Amino acid sequence: MAVLSSLPGVITLSVVFLFGCIGETISEKAGNLNLGIPGIMCFGVVGGTLGSLIYMRLIYPVMPVTANAFGLVEFISYALLILLGIVFSFAFGAIGGLIYSFLTTTLKANQNVTGLAITTFGAGIGDFFMSLLRSGDGFDLCERVGKIYGFHLTNATLSDKGLIYDDANWHMGFISSNNPVANIFSQPSLVYICFILAIVVFIVLNKTRIGLSLRAVGENPATADAAGINTDKYRYLATIVGCGIAGIGGLFYLIKSQGSWDGTYELQSYGWMTLALVIFTIWNPLIAIAGSILFAFLYSIPSYLNVDMVTGMFLTLTPYIVTVVVLIFTSIFGKKNVLPPGSLGVNYFREER
Amino acid sequence: MENIVQQDISIRFENITKTFGSVIANEKITFDVYRGEILSLLGENGSGKTTLMNMLSGIYFPDEGQIYINGKKVTIASPMDAFKHKIGMVHQHFKLIDVFTCLENIVLGIADKEKANKNNARKAIKELCDRYGFEINLDKKVYDLSVSEKQTLEILKTLYREAEILILDEPTAVLTPIEIRKLFSVLSNMRKDGKTIIIITHKLNEVMEISDRVAVLRKGQYIDTVKTSQTSEAQLTEMMVGKKIVLDIGRTEPKNMEDRLFVEHLTLTDKDGTKVLDDVNFIARSGEILGIAGIAGSGQRELLEAIAGVKPGYKGDVIFNRPKKNLPVSFFHKTYREVVNMAKKGAFHYENGTPVDFTGMSSKKIKELVNAEKIIFNENEIYNLRNLNPRTIRELGVRLSFVPEDRLGMGLVGNMDLVDNMMLRSYRKGKGIAVNRKKPEALAEEIVHELDVVTPNLHTPVRKLSGGNVQKVLVGREISSSPKVLMAAYPVRGLDINSSYLIYNLLDKEKQDGSAVIFVGEDLDVLLALCDRILVMCEGKVSGIVDARTTTKEEVGLLMTKKNEDEEETGGESND
């Protein structure tokens, strides 16, 4: 029963992984090994918080959402909430991706170094802005930010935790009961968006011309270039979109933790887990759905089981062990199509001799 | 036919200049290419052939000058522009994506939706195949293709993009004679179709065989264009090199021959369970060059790698008879007991060969004996290389210098400079934690000086050197260690004539210095002129060992294809 009741929580956590994993997969398929994902997710948190803040200050007072009534106004309000959150976290993540792409694709900086720099940078940005946004003075700052975007923030009353989504009713109205299995289906709508996104990304990568070109750029940019593909454009776009998606993962982390915030530490460790997950799922978004659930399960199961701390720590370690095992297996027995993209981590410069 | 092609100018280069840093790759090049002809672009390594063609295909952009296509000024800033002008290039290192299927590779990057549709493409490609005589399985992944299939795919790729101008960079470098035949017949078909074909090459016999005209570049400058029918190999060589060179390998007579390396019943099975080497037996002797001939992929590489210890896990033995000393006895820094013990193992013998036993003699008596008689100290060591690791084998003096197709792939680190690359072979020597750069630096300087390596300085990363120069460094480093057994595989692959002969002479010098040289070559003429004996391999087996001085190309060619009698042509014949 402990396992069953943990399932909704597992799925929520898995979505954080899955967003990051989809984003990183897109980026890596285009040849950019973005180790900045943990930082990018922190960017996303800041963006998501800002989005929700704007919602709280501007839209919620006009169109409040309550747990019992669900009419047209509530629906629009709710949709705007999701939209603002997504747009802002995507945008913030994408900015991180833009920095990364500019450094690696335009300036040809080393990808690993750049990625690590983005990670530390993102963590710093996350810690700084989140503490600002959450402190009493933060409201002024938010107002200023809001004015930059052309909004006039009103002095709506907010609960003490009100910056975060737990004030709004998130549930889409799927079955919500005490039955733990049924509860799996009562997830925030972003969960479903995420699973659908994984499928869409898989189709785009493997069945469309854009995907073919993108994979070509990641496998062998010189070949793609000679075939007339704009490699820089693909690397930029893949990384920016990928980072945007990972940024939404950051937003979802806030939703998952229901507004409690204790620094970027936990999110960063999720970010690294995401990087491991990409390898584990052999760069396939469909496998990533199952993989992220498995990882989330292994990661969160100790808190549902009555185990001592050491055993719990060991269980949270298992995803990494599993990743190493997968790496060993794909390296020894793998055919070429389960290996990483051919030019992963290598920048391309046409006139290099 | 000449009359037809004369009028129709397809491409005109006008004052094309391209520099890379301080190196001038092309300088004011001006010439025309006619429609419906096969033009050979001939030149030594680093003469700027590939650079010039890369500008036509949009990889590089010229610093100065103008390109005209069909009489119109054009700007080719990217490969996309090249396609628009119907220019297609088959690069020396194929630009294919390994994990994609052939079909995916063909439609890759095509903007037109109709054309990029896989079903449409499949039909159109089938037509192309029928028209020009290609054979290809479109659903195969590229990593499963042979080299020749990959080339076919590259050509198809350009044809599917409706290329009217086709550039082939060193198309025959990695093909077998039969595959070259096939390629040439396809090219002739395309010429009949009115396509303009440019072949970059430095193989003179192929130039003579296939091309209508020959354009020659030398050190980045355009020399002249001549009609193939009105020229000779000697004239072309002169144009290419600038001075008349004597194409003669000064083969010396072998001397002081001693059996050095015994390869006995060597059998190697690869991952899939096929035998890449099948019961190989031979002896390599000091003071002679043993050539290894065979169609590419007949097990030459595996054989050398097995001997060098890089490919362990074979059956059979590789016995290395290592000469340590063969000197008059000197007791310098040796104790009495050591000498007696060595004598028991047969280290000392009289000049006639009978071993000496010092047991029971006093130190003084031994000295007297040694001074009176001429006792020889012979401490040959016998090793079975099968049981040793590559490093130990190297240190014993068995050296392998293998030049792979991409040159940088084995033995050199592209991002490191010459000195550091020298050190790769010697860094374990010396004491202390810090490395000693003085000796490698001296060695690098010697190699640069002796082999005429063109490099800005000793601290230039190796990848920035041109292919030929990289190779000189690679071969030079191995030879410099004065090995007991030197295995050189394709040491002249891709090198120009001058550099090739430099390498041949180096190998001959090694032989005179008492090394057992094993030379794996591609060119039968060279094998016949350079080696003392030639071992011919065919599908992992030794199909014969012949005396290079008395054998003929036909005999070797026949041995090369001994097993596949159903093949009509032999490697030897098509190499003529």
Q: How far apart are CA B543 and CA B563, in angstroms?
A: 8
Least confident piece of the model among B14-28, B108-122, B415-429, B481-495: B415-429
In the structure, what pLDDT confidence band is assigned to residue A288 with cuts at 50, 70 and 90?
very high
Can you tell me the mean pLDDT for B500-511? Answer: 83
pLDDT at residue B248, rounded to an integer: 67
Chain A residues close to B20, C-beta within 8 Å: 351, 353
B59: closest CA of chain A, how far (Å): 7
Q: Provide the pLDDT for residue B324.
A: 58
Which chain B residue shows the shortest CA-CA distance from A211?
A: B108
Quick check: B149 and B94 in contact, CB under 8 A? no
Residue B124 has pLDDT above 60, yes or no: yes
For residue B83, pLDDT over 80 is answered with yes
Mean pLDDT, rounded, for A146-151: 39
pLDDT band (50, 70, 90) for residue A30: very high
CA distance A343 to chain B (A): 11
Check CB contact under 8 Å for A212 and B96: no
Cβ–Cβ contact B383 with A under 8 A: no
Q: Is the pTM of this model over 0.95?
A: no
pLDDT band at residue A315 under the 50/70/90 scheme: confident
Binding-face residues of B in 113-132 toward A, CB within 8 A: 113, 116
Q: Tens of pLDDT along B31-41?
A: 999 999 999 99
Contacts A228 to B, Cβ<8 Å: 78-80, 83, 109-111
Q: Which of residues 320-349 of A touch B (CB under 8 A)?
A: 336-337, 339, 342
**More confident site: B75 or B390:** B75
Backbone angles phi, psi at B270, to 5 degrees: -90, 180
Residue limits of CATH 3.40.50.300 in chain B: 2-241, 258-321+385-397+483-576
Q: How far is B464 from chain A (nearest CA, A)?
A: 6
Chain A CB contacts of B83 below 8 Å: 228
Q: Which of B96, B108, B143 sits opposite A212 (nearest CB)?
A: B108
Distance from the B86 Cα atom to the nearest Cα atom in chain A, whole angstroms: 12
How sure is the predictor about A155, in pLDDT bands with cuts at 50, 70 and 90?
A: very low
Residues with Cβ within 8 Å of residue B72, at least 6 apart in sequence = none
pLDDT at A44 over 80: yes
pLDDT tens per residue across span B201-253: 877 788 888 899 999 988 888 999 999 999 888 788 778 777 655 556 778 88
Query: How many DSSP H helices and E strands does chain B contain?
Result: 21, 23
Residue among B59, B110, B111 minimizing CB distance to A350: B59
Closest CB from A209, A219, A226 relative to B116: A209
- Strands B398-402 and B485-489 turn out to be parallel
B95 to A226: CB separation less than 8 angstroms, yes or no: yes
B394 or A4: which carries more pLDDT confidence? B394
Average model confidence (pLDDT) across chain B: 80
**Could you give the angle at which helices B233-241 and B497-512 cross, rounded to 10 degrees?**
90
- Cβ neighbours of B113 in A, within 8 Å: 209
> In chain B, what percentage of residues exceed pLDDT 70?
82
B558 touches chain A (CB under 8 A): no
Structure tokens that stand for B247 in this block: 């194409």
Q: Calculate mean pLDDT across residues B345-353.
A: 65
Instruction: Choose among B98, B110, B463: nearest Cβ to A219.
Output: B98
The model's confidence at residue B8, banded by pLDDT at 50, 70 and 90, is confident
A130-144 pLDDT per residue, tens: 877 766 544 555 454
Do residues B233 and B205 touch, judged by C-beta distance below 8 A? yes
Check whether B408 has a pLDDT greater than 60.
no
According to the model, what pLDDT value does residue A110 have?
93
Q: How many CB pairs under 8 A join A and B?
A: 74
Range in A238-247, A262-271, B331-340 the model is least confident about: B331-340
In angstroms, the separation between the Cα of residue B121 and the nearest Cα of chain A is 13
Indicate whether B406 pLDDT > 80. Answer: no
User: Residue B407's pLDDT is what?
Assistant: 53
> Is B148's pLDDT higher than 90?
no
- Higher local confidence (pLDDT), B323 or B536: B536
pLDDT of B59 > 80? The answer is yes
Q: Which of B19, B93, B97, B155 to mutate to test the interface with A (most CBs of A within 10 A)?
A: B97
What pLDDT, on a 0 to 100 scale, did the predictor assign at position B566? 40
The pLDDT of residue B494 is: 65
Region at A149 (left for phi over 0; alpha for psi -120 to 50; beta for the rest): alpha
pLDDT at A337: 65
* Averaged pLDDT for residues B465-478: 75
* Residue A296 clears pLDDT 50, i.e. is over it: yes
The CA-based dihedral angle spanning residues B39, B43, B48, B49, taken in that order and rounded to the nearest 10 degrees: 20
The predicted pLDDT at position B379 comes to: 58
Assign A175 a pLDDT band (cuts: 50, 70, 90).
very low
Least reliable range by pLDDT among A218-232, B111-125, B500-514, B532-546 = B500-514
Q: Does domain B2-241 have CATH number 3.40.50.300?
A: yes
pLDDT on residue A19: 95
Can you say whether residue B494 is alpha, beta or left, with left for phi > 0 and alpha for psi between -120 and 50 degrees? left
pLDDT at A156: 32
- pLDDT on residue A60: 73
Confidence class of residue B306 from pLDDT cuts 50, 70 and 90? confident
With helix as H, strand as E and coil as C, how does B179-237 read? HHHHHHHHHHHHHHCCCEEEEEECCHHHHHHHCCEEEEEECCEEEEEEEHHHCCHHHHH
Q: pLDDT tens digits, residue range A50-92? A: 887 787 778 777 876 655 555 677 677 777 877 888 899 999 9
Task: For domain A2-170+183-338, give the CATH number.
Answer: 1.10.3470
Chain A from 216 to 255: CB within 8 A of any B CB:
216, 219-220, 222-230
Maximum Cα interatomic distance, chain A, rounded to a whole number of Å: 68
What pLDDT shows up at residue A187? Answer: 61
Which of A219, A339, A353 faces B97 most closely, judged by CB atoms?
A: A219
**Residues of chain B contacting residue A229, judged by C-beta atoms under 8 Å apart:** 108-109
Res. B532: pLDDT tops 70: yes
Residue A161 has pLDDT above 80, yes or no: no
What pLDDT, on the 0 to 100 scale, is given for residue A147?
Answer: 44
Lowest mean pLDDT among A324-333, B87-96, B282-291: A324-333
Closest residue on chain B to A234 (Cα): B109
pLDDT at A280 over 50: yes
Most confident of A160-174, A229-243, B102-116: A229-243
- Residue, of B150 and A334, whose pLDDT is higher: B150
Closest in A213, A230, A353 to B108, CB measured: A213
For chain A, domain boundaries: 2-170+183-338
Q: Cβ A219–B104 below 8 Å, yes or no?
A: no
pLDDT at B15 over 80: yes
Q: Under CATH, what is the fold of the domain B258-321+385-397+483-576?
A: Rossmann fold (3.40.50)
pLDDT at A244 over 80: yes
Q: Residue B376: what pLDDT?
A: 65
Q: Does B80 touch chain A (CB under 8 A)?
A: yes
The answer to whether residue B371 scores a pLDDT higher than 80 is no
Hey, are the CB atoms on A226 and B59 less than 8 Å from each other? Answer: yes
Cβ–Cβ of A228/B98 closer than 8 Å? no
> Where does B239-295 show beta strands of DSSP type E?
258-269, 275-286, 289-293
Average confidence score pLDDT of chain A: 79
Cβ separation of B464 and A353 shorter than 8 Å? yes
B409 at interface of A, judged by CB pairs closer than 8 A: no
Within 20-59 of B, beta carbons closer than 8 Å to A belong to: 20, 57, 59
Tokens for B127?
């037509």
Q: Do A228 and B78 touch (CB under 8 A)?
A: yes
High-pLDDT (> 90) share of chain A, % = 37
Which residue in the set A209, A230, A342 is minimally distant from B98, CB to CB?
Answer: A342
| Between B386 and B279, residue with greater pLDDT | B279
